[in-house]
């Protein structure tokens, strides 16, 4: 969600466009750059894709620094006036901003009172105006004063007319810096540093500073601060793609991710990670996440409850703070997030910490804010995920949650850690037959609504399958507990309505099939998704029985979802939608 990149070095206009393309995955609807040369600032902005911006940008003689931005609209529609960079009225300050200024309205009113005029609807423009308002000739002091009145989240890249360098500031939105000889880059994601630097600095909240070709200085409100230079791990950054779309590439990276996880988490390692965890007083476990991560949490709660006999509750991260959760030192809060930058999940973490709970993070991006803060980090080792629709990361989250359930079970009940299931999963793992998946996708693409039903964990899989279809195909796919049909949902069934029935648990299959029959009797076309052989008498009545490979019950959920990720992908492509960038969505949701 919004991305910034700033560059000190020759031809910044070229480098900024190239790096903004790396930030595209975060989601955006307009983009812009500002470039400084010996003639002053040149600003270019465009609505829509980076290529629109690229076609507008002209080569600038003697350009030597610049700032760039991809904007995901929050305040004001995605147009050129609202696109960043924004500039002060006196044209001395130019800025790009990622985040949301919560008190922008009162600051704007104040500035209007002082005679300032605004040309955009954004919260960001007030920062450019505030820099002018506080300008006392000392740029760092002006920035310190400006950020001290801002409430909310921001990562800022700032240029000043009479200074040859980039100022930056950070609070609650990610910001990193890397240098390569005399060149410097400031960016929202270290992915921009690929083929640039070998090391990077990660800014903490409240840090601001200045970078030029000669030095990088960091400050907080008390004075100068040191930030540790970290090594860039290029293996984590494989964002090259030979497939038609990242979504397809990433689904096919599920098996390698499972292998990575099983190599990383040996029995010994799991014991070591939790060596100091005192579980004697633990009375409850809360699992928190958003979207796909929330669905992983539902599955994880089931695994952990069964392994530990401790009550688990799952809460959507955006609700956690406002639910006044009764948590304290007797609680473990498990935070699940691919990006580790999701604002609601970070806020849930802050509350959990404030209340004294033990925090465990199940996170993909190991340099993310959340990963750095949790008491216990369990990386999911899935590698970079670029497509907005989360696929391999979900499966990796499920597997790591399973390992966590085993580790906690071992601590609480002294039970054996069972890793044989993982080996079986690797041996069994099957992506299905492409032709069969494509044919099913072709049937489903013409529907404007779909229903999915299941019991127990199958219901959770249906929720995630449904989210994937909604996100990438814009079909209104709705999910119900199979046992709930008669309590209202049946009223929605019409002749030829597709109902997809998830029945992968032997204990529940007969009951689920009875529910499918109820829907069929009212005209529904049933697609039964199961690993089991079904009597011909039943299959003949259904539109299709769709087989999935059977593996250990506890990890069947990973087999199950992969096929639906592929089906969602094919529906999307068949409908002519780019599955990597669904409309209105961002990969990393850094605002509430
Ligand atoms: O980075 P996170 O895992 O915290 O992101 C949470 C959700 O925004 C994310 O899972 C979202 O629902 C995906 N687009 C789903 O495919």
Judge whether residue 280 has pLDDT over 90. no
Three-class secondary structure assignment of 263-308: HHCCHHHHHHHCCCCCCCCCCEEEEEECHHHHHHHHHHHHHHHHHH
Q: How far is CA 22 from CA 52, 387, 410, in A?
A: 16, 12, 42
Cα(231)–Cα(211) distance, integer angstroms: 19
Neighbours of 38 (CB within 10 A): 9
| Residue burial 186-216, b: 16+ Cβ < 10 Å; e: rest | bbbbbbbbbebbeebbbbeebbbbbbeeeeb
Question: What's the whole-number mean pLDDT along residues 52-74?
Answer: 94
Q: Which of 108-112, 191-195, 199-203, 395-399 has the lowest mean pLDDT?
A: 191-195
CB distance 556 to ligand 1 below 6 Å = no
Q: How much is the pLDDT for 233?
A: 77
Q: How much is the pLDDT for 414?
A: 93
Q: Whose CA is nearest to atom 4 of ligand 1?
A: 337
Q: How much is the pLDDT for 347?
A: 95
Phi and psi angles of residue 105, each rounded to the nearest 5 degrees, phi first: -65, -45
Pocket mutation for ligand 1, best pick of 247, 293, 336, 466 (most atoms within 8 Å of C-beta): 293
Q: Is 49 exposed, middle or buried (0-12, 13-18, 19+ CB in 10 A)?
A: middle
Neighbours of 244 (CB within 10 A): 12
For ligand 1, the distance from its centroid to the CA atom of residue 430, given in whole angstroms, is 24
Judge whether residue 350 has pLDDT over 70. yes
DSSP 146: H
Q: How many residues does the chain have?
A: 592
For ligand 1, the distance from its centroid to the CA atom of residue 339, given in whole angstroms, is 8
Question: What's the whole-number mean pLDDT along residues 74-92?
Answer: 93
Q: How much is the pLDDT for 234?
A: 61
For ligand 1, the distance from its centroid to the CA atom of residue 295, given in whole angstroms, is 10
Q: How much is the pLDDT for 86?
A: 97
Neighbours of 104 (CB within 10 A): 19
Q: How much is the pLDDT for 239?
A: 67
Neighbours of 180 (CB within 10 A): 14
Q: How far is CA 244 from CA 59, 204, 394, 452, 585, in A?
A: 31, 37, 21, 28, 20
Average pLDDT, the chain: 94
CB distance 292 to ligand 1 below 6 Å = yes
Judge whether residue 237 has pLDDT over 70. no
CA dihedral 314, 319, 323, 329 (to 10 degrees): 50
Q: What is the pLDDT of residues 20-41, one digit of tens each?
A: 998 988 888 899 999 999 899 9
CB distance 590 to ligand 1 below 6 Å = no
Q: Are 526 and 503 in contact (CB under 8 A)?
A: no
Phi and psi angles of residue 82, each rounded to the nearest 5 degrees, phi first: -85, -20
Judge whether residue 206 has pLDDT over 90. yes
Listed residue (417, 402, 536) closest to 457, CA to CA: 402
Q: How much is the pLDDT for 235?
A: 60
Tokens standing for 381? 């080792």
Judge whether residue 19 has pLDDT over 60. yes
CB distance 391 to ligand 1 below 6 Å = no
Q: How much is the pLDDT for 300?
A: 98
Q: What is the pLDDT of residues 508-534, one digit of tens each?
A: 999 999 999 999 999 999 999 999 999
Q: Are 432 and 566 in contact (CB under 8 A)?
A: yes
Listed residue (121, 61, 108, 78) closest to 69, CA to CA: 78
Cα(170)–Cα(218) distance, integer angstroms: 11
* Bridge partner list, 86: 95
Q: Residue 584: which pLDDT band, with cuts at 50, 70 and 90? A: confident
Q: What is the pLDDT of residues 118-170, one digit of tens each?
A: 999 999 999 999 999 999 999 999 999 999 999 999 999 999 999 999 999 99
Cα(83)–Cα(106) distance, integer angstroms: 22
Q: How much is the pLDDT for 238?
A: 66
Q: What is the pLDDT of residues 296-330, one digit of tens each?
A: 999 999 999 999 999 999 999 999 999 999 999 99
Q: How much is the pLDDT for 587?
A: 84
For ligand 1, the distance from its centroid to the CA atom of residue 1, given in whole angstroms, is 12
CB distance 589 to ligand 1 below 6 Å = yes
**More confidently predicted of 582 and 396:** 396
Phi and psi angles of residue 228, each rounded to the nearest 5 degrees, phi first: -70, 135
**Residue 50: partners with Cβ closer than 8 Å, 6 or more residues away:** 17, 20, 21, 24, 31, 70
CB distance 174 to ligand 1 below 6 Å = no
Cα(527)–Cα(539) distance, integer angstroms: 10
Percentage of the residues of the chain whose pLDDT score is greater than 70? 99
Catalytic sites, residue numbers: 2, 587
Tokens standing for 34? 């500002």
Cα(516)–Cα(502) distance, integer angstroms: 10
For ligand 1, the distance from its centroid to the CA atom of residue 308, given in whole angstroms, is 27
What are the residue ranges of helices labelled H in 488-532?
509-520
Atom of ligand 1 nearest to the CA of 587: 14
Neighbours of 417 (CB within 10 A): 17
Atom of ligand 1 nearest to the CA of 291: 12
Q: Are 579 and 391 in contact (CB under 8 A)?
A: no
* Bridge partner list, 200: 230
| Residue burial 386-396, b: 16+ Cβ < 10 Å; e: rest | bbbbbbbbbbb
For ligand 1, the distance from its centroid to the CA atom of residue 340, given in whole angstroms, is 10
Cα(57)–Cα(64) distance, integer angstroms: 15
Q: Residue 336: which pLDDT band, with cuts at 50, 70 and 90? A: very high
Judge whether residue 468 has pLDDT over 90. yes
CB distance 463 to ligand 1 below 6 Å = no
Q: What is the pLDDT of residues 474-490, one digit of tens each?
A: 999 999 999 999 999 89
DSSP 101: B
Three-class secondary structure assignment of 168-193: EEEEECCCEEEEECCEEEEECCHHHH
CB distance 318 to ligand 1 below 6 Å = no
Q: What is the pLDDT of residues 427-462, one digit of tens each?
A: 989 999 999 999 999 999 999 999 999 999 999 999
């Amino acid at each position: 969600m919004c991305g910034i990149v700033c560059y000190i070095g020759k031809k910044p206009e070229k480098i900024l466009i190239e790096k903004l393309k790396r930030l595209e995955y975060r989601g955006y609807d307009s983009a812009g750059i500002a470039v400084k040369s010996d003639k002053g600032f040149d600003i270019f902005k465009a609505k829509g894709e980076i290529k629109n911006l690229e076609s507008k940008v002209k080569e600038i003689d003697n350009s030597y620094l610049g700032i760039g931005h991809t904007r995901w609209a929050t305040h004001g529609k995605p147009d050129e006036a609202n696109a960043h960079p924004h500039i002060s009225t006196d044209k001395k300050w130019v800025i790009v901003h990622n985040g949301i200024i919560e008190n922008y309205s009162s600051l704007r009113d104040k500035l209007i009172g002082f005679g300032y005029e605004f040309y955009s609807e954004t919260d960001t423009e007030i920062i450019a105006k505030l820099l002018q308002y506080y300008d006392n000739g000392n740029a760092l002091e002006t920035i310190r004063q400006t950020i001290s009145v801002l409430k909310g989240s921001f990562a800022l890249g700032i240029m000043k007319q009479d200074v040859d360098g980039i100022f930056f500031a950070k609070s609650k939105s990610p910001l990193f810096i890397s240098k390569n000889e005399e060149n410097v880059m400031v960016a929202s994601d270290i992915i921009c540093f690929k083929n640039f630097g070998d090391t990077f600095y990660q800014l903490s909240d409240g840090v601001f500073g200045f970078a030029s070709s000669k030095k990088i200085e960091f400050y907080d409100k008390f004075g100068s601060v040191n930030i540790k230079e970290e090594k860039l791990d290029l293996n984590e950054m494989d964002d090259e793609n030979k497939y038609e779309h990242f979504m397809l590439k990433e689904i096919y990276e599920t098996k390698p991710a499972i292998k990575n996880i099983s190599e990383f988490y040996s029995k010994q390692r799991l014991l070591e990670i939790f060596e100091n965890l005192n579980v004697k007083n633990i009375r409850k476990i809360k699992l928190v996440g958003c979207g796909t991560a929330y669905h992983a949490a539902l599955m994880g709660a089931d695994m952990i409850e069964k392994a530990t006999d401790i009550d688990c509750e799952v809460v959507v991260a955006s609700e956690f703070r406002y639910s006044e959760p009764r948590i304290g030192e007797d609680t473990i809060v498990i935070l699940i997030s691919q990006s580790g930058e999701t604002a609601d999940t970070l806020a849930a973490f802050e509350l959990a910490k404030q209340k004294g709970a033990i925090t465990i993070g199940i996170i993909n991006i190991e340099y993310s804010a959340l990963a750095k803060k949790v008491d216990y980090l369990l990386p999911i080792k899935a590698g970079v995920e670029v497509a907005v629709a989360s696929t391999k990361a979900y499966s990796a989250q499920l597997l790591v949650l399973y390992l966590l359930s085993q580790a906690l079970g071992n601590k609480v009940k002294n039970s054996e850690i069972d890793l044989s299931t993982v080996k079986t999963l690797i041996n069994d793992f099957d992506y299905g037959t492409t032709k069969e998946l494509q044919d099913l996708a072709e049937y489903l693409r013409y529907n404007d609504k779909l229903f999915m039903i299941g019991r127990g964990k199958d219901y959770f899989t249906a929720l995630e399958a449904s989210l994937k279809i909604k996100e990438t195909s814009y079909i209104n796919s709705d999910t119900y507990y199979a046992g709930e049909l008669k309590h209202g949902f049946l009223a929605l069934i019409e002749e030829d309505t597709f109902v997809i029935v998830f029945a992968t648990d032997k204990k529940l299959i007969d009951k689920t099939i009875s529910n499918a029959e109820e829907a069929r009797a009212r005209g529904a076309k049933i697609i039964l998704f199961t690993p089991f052989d079904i009597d011909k008498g039943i299959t003949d009545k259904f539109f299709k029985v769709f087989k999935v490979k059977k593996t250990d019950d506890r990890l069947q959920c990973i087999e199950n979802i992969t096929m639906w990720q592929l089906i969602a992908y094919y529906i999307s492509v068949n409908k002519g939608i780019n599955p990597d960038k669904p409309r209105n969505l961002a990969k990393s949701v850094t605002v509430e």
